[in-house]
Structure 1
């Protein structure tokens, strides 16, 4: 599923086409997504887009009237069309601009969302989110303090959106490998030195993925249809049974919190 880098790449891709433009119409062909598309979304018609931002894995298209909040779910993506093209089966939402361009939302599994938020209010889906990982608010002192009473394993700890947003399964595995931390180490057993390295590696891995255009596995493509290239740089994720790029021992694959987790037993020693 699209993770933070893929969503950020989508934000960067659509912004030049949408920012400052006026919304002519919104066509909702399939209102039954993860949550029903609210009728209030139609209030965006006639409004000018004043900002496009990202919070965690949510994209926010802002106008003075209110905001559309978009989540790509498991298989969703956004495309910019130069004009109307007959929609395919899974093209569920079109946002048509007065200049003729169309933002099209495609989602075969329908686990994504289009939500409405009044200007000046906070939607419930964003009420309890932790800090963004690429901001100064996410720092070693913060994460160390949060970890002290957490017996949960480190991989689940850093994937908790209440602790830090956007560190999904792929990037958790990659960051823990780079920081030489076993994914099953209890969070409260991490030292400040380990957490300092982990915070740094999370930032490095996410920034590198964004620069590479995201990670294409099955479903994600960029706004222009080109794939992301970070998959070519993955060190452990999806490489079970292959040699570790550092020590050549075989990469392990284990379910942690019902998610496939990849690590090297030699490089990532459990505390």
Structure 2
């Protein structure tokens, strides 16, 4: 599933291709995960100029001049493609065609990608926002008896972090993913916050350097420990793998367990 750095890169390139263009037509091809009627989407968005594209957590929000917003959550297998005049990609969910003939299609062979009209405002802070700061994180973790990785993955706590980047963040902070939140010392929480910002911001730069025009897929070959091809961390420790909870967790003995 695309995570925060991936979506940041997608947003960057989609703005270059689509910003300030007028939406000629919106065509729903698969309404399985549509959180509005096709008619409501068309009425709100067709004929409107795209003013901004924002990343909100793991969603992309396409903001139009009249104030309406088209939200997309790609889920596990959703992909975005640009096209000219006619979409040729398989498994389309929704197609956007702009006045100059440029088009954008969201595809998903599972049909699980979500489409929203005017998504509700999120209650949790974004991982890269000013609101996600030492005070917030210390207060939050002091109340939680769950593991720190579970905390980071819960979008009700912090927006944008997924399984892969949680592993690299925790390795960089030298905190075991199995640490209990309210057992983590304050000094280490400060280190964790710094690692969150650093890992996510650096990842976006690496993705865009590797694939300057990327708007779909995932670039993971630069990751520090969450990488099935690696046997050792940058520090030389053996990378271990746990499959508890239905997801893979990569970690090393360099990380301290607070329990």
User: How high is the TM-score relative to the length of structure 1?
Assistant: 0.86
Alpha-carbon deviation of 1:86? 4.5
Matches within 5 A, 1:34-183: 34-35=33-34, 38-39=37-38, 40-43=40-43, 44-63=45-64, 64=66, 66-81=68-83, 83-117=84-118, 123-124=119-120, 126-128=121-123, 130-183=124-177
Aligned length: 253
> Relative to structure 2, which stretch is displaced further, 101-110 or 172-181?
101-110
Long gaps (5+) in structure 1: 118-122
Contact 1:96 1:102 in 2 (8 A): yes
CA distance in 1, matches of 2:30, 2:147: 39
Q: Which runs of 5+ in 2 are unaligned?
A: none
Note the C-alpha offset of 1:247: 3.3
Q: What is the match of residue 13 of structure 1?
A: 13
Of residues 204, 216, 219 in structure 1, which corresponds to 2:198?
204
1:143-182 per-position Cα deviation (integer Å, ceiling 9, x unaligned): 0111111000011111121221111100100000011001
TM-score when normalising by structure 2: 0.90
Residue 194 to residue 136, structure 1, CA distance change in 2 (3 Å): same
Equivalent position SS for 2:42: helix
Within a 5 Å distance, the mapping from 1:256-267 to structure 2 comes to 256-264=244-252, 266-267=253-254
The CA distance in 2 between the partners of 1:241 and 1:210, in whole Å, is: 21
Instruction: Provide the aligned C-alpha RMSD in A.
Output: 2.2
Deviation at 1:89, TM superposition (A): 2.6
- Runs of 4+ with >6 A deviation: none
Change (3 A) 1:57 1:86: closer
1:96 match: secondary structure: strand
